[in-house]
């Protein structure tokens, strides 16, 4: 990380609503713009970027943190596409971060015991990641990797771990997790979005009879 005054980090996430934020390299919030609508990411992403960049004031964006999900695929991809294209336009790196880490950092303002971030995964399923405090780099400590569970089975699955249901996400906290990963030289996830499911297709068999 550059770290000289004026450097800022942009974060974009469309795993739930649409969230955009800029922070200073030290983690201080510069600007934030969001839409809670779980649809309509493509419509709002451009204006939210413009708004957040304008509010952030002077400074050079050095990195773009992309929320990689899990989340409904169609929406999730819009933010990742926008984050990557923005980074390409400025010739700066993209820092992929699992979106649940941002939600966990927000929750850690109040949570002291292990807790589970729970988000809607559609099709009557939820995505669950269990955390416990921060690790040495200041990144929420994952104690159970993200899994998809039938919504009706979520409580049984959690066996008493406190659940934190999340419907919106703080891009400021996403940026902070990204900044801490950069500072620690860590890669938190790969370039592939956290789809958690294969595309819904079946290899066709023999053609159906139409009869004569």
Query: Is 165 near another protein (CB under 8 A)?
Result: no
CA angle 186, 170, 120 (to 5 degrees): 95
d(CA 182, CA 93): 11
d(CA 74, CA 72): 6
Query: Is 56 near another protein (CB under 8 A)?
Result: no
* Helix, coil or strand: residue 3: coil
Name the residue nearer to another protein (CB basis): 134 or 195: 195
Residues 7, 27, 29, 40: which binds another protein (CB under 8 A)?
40
Query: Is 63 near another protein (CB under 8 A)?
Result: no
Phi-psi region of 27 (alpha: psi -120 to 50; beta: other; left: phi over 0): left
Name the residue nearer to another protein (CB basis): 33 or 104: 33
Burial class (CB in 10 A: 0-12, 13-18, 19+), 51: middle
d(CA 204, CA 207): 8
Query: Is 74 near another protein (CB under 8 A)?
Result: yes
Residues within window 81-100 making contact with another protein, judged by CB under 8 A: 81-90
Residues within window 179-198 making contact with another protein, judged by CB under 8 A: 191, 193, 195
Query: Is 58 near another protein (CB under 8 A)?
Result: no
Interface residues with another protein (CB under 8 A)? 12, 14, 40-47, 49-50, 53, 73-74, 77-90, 191, 193, 195, 199-204, 207, 209-212
């Amino acid at each position: 990380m550059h770290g000289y005054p004026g450097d800022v980090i942009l974060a974009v996430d469309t795993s739930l609503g649409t969230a955009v934020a800029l922070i200073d390299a030290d983690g201080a919030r510069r600007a934030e713009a969001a839409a809670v609508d779980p649809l309509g990411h493509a419509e709002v992403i451009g204006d939210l970027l413009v708004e957040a960049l304008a509010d952030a004031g002077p400074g050079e964006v050095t990195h773009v943190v992309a929320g990689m999900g899990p989340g409904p695929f169609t929406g999730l991809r819009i933010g990742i596409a926008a984050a990557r294209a923005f980074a390409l336009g400025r010739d700066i790196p993209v820092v992929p971060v699992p979106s649940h880490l941002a939600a966990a950092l927000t929750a850690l303002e109040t949570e002291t015991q292990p807790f589970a971030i729970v988000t809607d995964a559609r099709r009557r399923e939820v995505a669950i990641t269990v955390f416990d405090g921060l690790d040495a780099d200041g990144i929420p400590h994952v104690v159970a990797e993200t899994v998809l569970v039938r919504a009706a089975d979520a409580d049984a699955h959690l066996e008493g771990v406190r659940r934190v249901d999340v419907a919106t996400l703080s891009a400021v906290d996403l940026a902070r997790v990204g900044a801490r990963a950069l500072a620690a030289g860590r890669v938190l996830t790969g370039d592939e979005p956290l789809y958690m499911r294969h595309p819904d297709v079946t290899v066709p068999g023999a053609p159906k009879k139409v009869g004569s």
